[in-house]
Amino acid sequence: MSAGRIPVMIPWLGEEEARAASDAVLSGWVAQGPRVAEFERAFAERTGAGHAVAVSSCTTALHLSLHVLGIGPGDEVVVPSLSFIATANAVRYTGARPVFADVGLTTGNLTPETVDAVRTPRTRAVLAVHQGGVPADVHALRAACAEWDLPLVEDAACAIGSTVGGKPVGHGALLATWSFHPRKLVTTGEGGMVTTDDADRAARLRRLREHGMNASAAERHASGTPVLESYLEVGFNYRMTDIQAAVGLVQLAKLDTMITRRRALAARYDRLLRGIPGLCPVGDPAHGQSNFQSYWVLLDADFPVGRDDLLGTLAAAGISARRGIMAAHLEPAYAGHPAVPLPVTERISRDSLILPLFHTMTEAQQDRIVATLREQARG
């Protein structure tokens, strides 16, 4: 059996992406231009959104989304602590205060009940995450937010191609944000997207990502006559390049194949891990399907080894697992930041680990991981 190291994730990139990037370079137009526009159209279609606005990362997508909602100093935004730290940080960029809510144990996501528990008169928005690709119950969250008259932003960084009630995550979202970091399914190296059904909001997002300019560089270039741009408000430079978009277009066309493969590997993990006492794998929630961007297992008291020791044993066996989703409120960056008790968040972040799962993973690699887990389960 091969003793090679098994990484937690490998992006599925090949010759086609390399050629697309090369074509973009050779075209002479490398900044935001026609390929970004084409990627946006393809992305909106795939996610069932009216408009897609490409940006430099999901972090900047989150910042812009909160900015266009007018969130600012004195406001509170309800977020899960159980998320990559960018979710909470984006709230900080606006000057508002992230208020951490707990999550459901099986999905790792906000629920109407956990949001309601921390809502105050200063709450101006709810920022829900589709954690690790597991879709949040957006129908329940949207209904609750409508009742409270609060906008719901969806951090879908991990969840491209996940579904809720048969529809892609992002469908019907007020604002959803996406990541193309290589740890996610579709990658452009770095990159992000905001989707929305609102044409005016999309137009403002396009302006804000480009210094608040009323005419993009590409538009000015395409126009035969001089276009004197003006700067309508203070914006940002959050643009994506055409080189990235060229890669993204190829990646997006491979998405369905990626998801089929990841779901098959996740189902195989489930079959092989079933029956190991004290080890509980993440699965699809009742309301939708995951793309299995992350496949995590939660250890309970029956498991004879602690999470960190188990990670160490796996690493020694050449298997790169990862600690489960982090809890932002436990990080030094949030020391002293007030938070209600978050028992489920702390339990998931302390007792879960993410197992390797990538497109080109072999059954032999998966068997090696399962064998190591089974051995540890025997104590």
Binding-site ranges for ligand PLP (CB under 6 A):
57-59, 83-84, 86-87, 129, 155, 157-158, 179, 181, 192
Q: How far is the CB of 127 from ligand PLP (least distance, A)?
A: 10
Q: Which two tokens stand for residue 128?
A: 């829900």
Question: Is 184 a known active-site residue?
Answer: yes
Shortest CB 120 distance to ligand PLP, Å: 24
Q: Which is nearer to ligand PLP, 194 or 279 (CB)?
A: 194
Q: Where would I find the H helices in the chain?
A: 15-27, 34-47, 58-68, 86-93, 112-116, 138-148, 199-208, 217-222, 242-253, 255-273, 307-316, 343-351, 363-377
Angle at 27 between CA 21 and CA 30, to 5 degrees: 65
Please say whether the beta carbons of 101 and 118 come within 8 A.
Answer: yes
Measure the CA–CA gap between 257 and 15, rounded to whole angstroms. 17
Q: Nearest to residue 330, comparing CAs of 342, 314, 316?
A: 342
Angle between helix axes 255-273 and 242-253 (nearest 10 degrees) is 60
Work out whether the CA dihedral 296, 301, 304, 309 comes out positive or negative: positive
User: Cβ closer to ligand PLP: 69 or 159?
Assistant: 159
* Nearest CB to ligand PLP, comparing residues 9 and 213: 9
Least distance CB 134 / ligand PLP (angstroms): 11
Among residues 184, 239, 261, 322, the one annotated as catalytic is 184
Question: Least distance (Å) from ligand PLP to the CB of residue 74?
Answer: 24
Strand partners, 164: 167, 288
Q: Which is nearer to ligand PLP, 129 or 208 (CB)?
A: 129
Q: Smallest distance from the beta carbon of 123 to ligand PLP, in angstroms?
A: 20
Q: Are 231 and 213 in contact (CB under 8 A)?
A: yes
Q: Which is nearer to ligand PLP, 118 or 158 (CB)?
A: 158
Catalytic residues: 184
